[in-house]
Structure 1
Amino acid sequence: MKIKCNTKVALMLTAVLSLVLLGLLFSTNMVLFDPKGPIGEAQQSLIVTSVLLMAIIIVPVLFMSVYFPYKYRHTNTEAEYKPNWEHSTKIEIIVWAVPCLIILALGWVTYHSTFALDPRKDIVSDKKPLTIQVVAMNWKWLFIYPEQQIATVNEVRFPIDRPVEFLVTSDTTMNSFFIPQLGSQVYAMAGMENRVNLLASEQGIYRGVSANYSGYGFANMRFKAHATDEAAFGQWISDVKAADAQLDEETYAGLTANAKEQIKVPHPVTYYASVEPLKFKDIIEKHSGAQNGL
């Protein structure tokens, strides 16, 4: 009687804990499952497909971990007892064939998505891509618009339904450039240029982060990504060009020098009406040794 009671309690606790975990899971802000562009949607589909394939093994195992102890409990005298049992061909086939098939399926999905979701792959569109140069700094993000000759700190804007090519580098330690609702994070590394092509299909303000820990001020490596229509984007460009500040050598040196102040306080959004045309190239060459003739 005592064992039967304990079994029921264990089953109830398992059910309650499962419900609590599910509640916590679906109560969080899962931006990866709220994509706002074709790349994010494809990656969401990949995540769901992979989880469902793996659930083919996980769900039966979770079920049997509860069912077997209950069925073969000490008080169940009707359970079949086979002390000399040692082999079952059916079980061997199941426990080997099913995982192998799942691995093959996951391998095919991974192979296909690796090429389909290559961050450097151009997004097919009838609109000309917008190029934005991204520089990870301590502890802020610098965005340079080479065609518009403007720059911003901790804010980036682009029109919807237009491909955006982000050229990413770092003027400090390695970071990771990531707008979760648009998809495809890429590393920002000093002396190197990385690329990622993204597209927003809905207007909104999306969270941008660094997904790679980079030091004590890492918590402030955040920015806002604004997806607007073409008219609003053009007006914003005009507003930035009307700003007083210019991103010259002295201003850039100031951005680098005040890094210690932003360990606890994030750098405010800043607009620069003009920027040196080769600033992004100079930042890369500063770390690659090209400036020193290496």
Structure 2
Amino acid sequence: MKRLLALLTAGAGTALLSGCESLVVLNPQGPVARSIAELINWSLMWMLLVVVVVIGLFVFIVWKYREKPGNEDYEPPEEHGSLALEITWVVIPILIVIALTIPTVKALYKLEDVPAGYEDQTPLVIHVTSADWKWIFSYPEQNIETVNYVNIPAGRTVDFRLTSAGTMQSFWIPALAGQKYAMAKMENQLFLAADHPGSYLGRNTNFNGKGYSGMEFEVLSQTPKEFEEWVSDVKATAPKLSEPEYEKLLEPTHLGRQTYSNTHLEWVNHADPDSKSYTNPEMYRLDHGYPGKTFTEPDQYNAPNSGESQNNTKKDGGEKHGH
């Protein structure tokens, strides 16, 4: 029996250790991801403490008050409660919640700012546009654009401006930062930095059709010199992107890597509330079996604030807004 327990323990330990290789969030490669990993470890420590204490008390009570020869007919005296115990099991959970809440709130506010130690740098601004099922990265300062991969300089803050050309996506680079949503006609901001050169996987974690699972991209962190050389090479060799080509690119398909020596920001910024909608509902028939729907009525937030408009909104509900 002891030998069997030893084998099971060794097997479980090996499985856990081998699984750590895939836990990218616990192997952060930048200050933002490091803050998230520290918060996860802090939470795990408290959860483990609770589990150990609860299981320990359970085993102790079951063992101490088990039925033994000589006490089969024992009847415990009637109890009306213990004030000390009631205070204890109310106060301890409150203290645990406080111990988890304060670091969480501090970390969330910290993640919205430029990473610590990078405050004196000028961030590299990259506009991220999601579409089914691809990621488009626009460099307005460099006037270049990439699809399904993004190169960044190591040791410099990157300011990602997230939006969508259609459906909502979730932008996540586990080794460098947490996830944020990319939504049409609005913009979210995500700061991150890579400590050193390397290749990191990014993906969409929001389910929005059969193609979402393959919606991945590479983040290549380069030395500043390598990054500048890459930018110069793109400007000299990459083709120009035209508006018709861009509209074709937004159709719900999977694509490989693409590179252009200009950006689609020349004619459309999907974060603009008044920007054109690029949806292709009929093309979803093959993937979903449902063609989708395009709303022809004007958006309610642009409609006059009249009594008639409000009544129509109540009657039609979701039929009166959307794209």
- Checking the alignment, whether the CA contact within 8 Å between 1:54 and 1:102 is kept in structure 2 is no
Matching of residue 31 in structure 1 with residue 16 in structure 2 = no
Q: Secondary structure of the equivalent of 2:245? A: helix
1:22 is displaced (CA, Å) by 5.3
Is there any run of 5+ residues in structure 1 with no aligned partner, and where? 1-7
How much has 1:276 moved relative to structure 2? Answer: 4.3
2:126 paired residue number? 132
What amino acid sits opposite 1:273 in the alignment?
S
Structure 1 pair 213/38, CA: closer, same or farther in 2 (3 Å)?
same
Alignment CA distance shift 1:83-1:126 (3 Å): same
Displacement, 1:213? 1.3
Instruction: Provide the aligned length of Structure 1 versus Structure 2.
Output: 273
Over 3 Å counting, the alpha-carbon distance change for 1:235 and 1:76 in structure 2 is: farther
Between the aligned partners of 1:25 and 1:280, the Cα distance in structure 2 is 48
Aligned to 1:286: 276
- Please state how far the C-alpha of 1:109 moved relative to its aligned partner: 1.7
Q: Which residue of 2 aligns with 1:106?
A: 100
Q: Secondary structure at the match of 2:250?
A: helix
**Shift in Å, 1:27:** 2.0
**Deviations 1:255-289, CA, capped at 9 Å, x for gaps:** 123x34x2xxxx21111122244345256412498
Asked if 1:166 corresponds to 2:154, the answer is no
Q: Which residue of 2 aligns with 1:180?
A: 174
Asked whether 1:268 is paired with 2:256, we answer yes
Percentage of matched positions with identical amino acids: 34
CA distance in 2, matches of 1:179, 1:129: 18
Give the 3-state SS of the residue equivalent to 2:269 in structure 1.
Answer: helix
1:203 aligns with 2:197: yes
CA distance in 1, matches of 2:12, 2:171: 30
Q: Which amino acid aligns with 1:93?
A: I
Q: Which runs of 4+ in 1 moved over 6 A?
A: 15-19, 76-79
Q: Which residue of 2 aligns with 1:3?
A: none
Letter paired with 2:227: F
The counterpart of 1:225, out of the listed 219, 234, 241, is: 219
Alignment equivalent of 2:186, drawn from 181, 192, 213 = 192
Q: CA deviation at 1:72?
A: 4.3
In the alignment, which residue of structure 1 is the partner of 2:282?
none
Give the TM-score taking structure 1 as reference length.
0.81
Does the 8 A contact of 2:203 with 2:215 survive in 1? yes
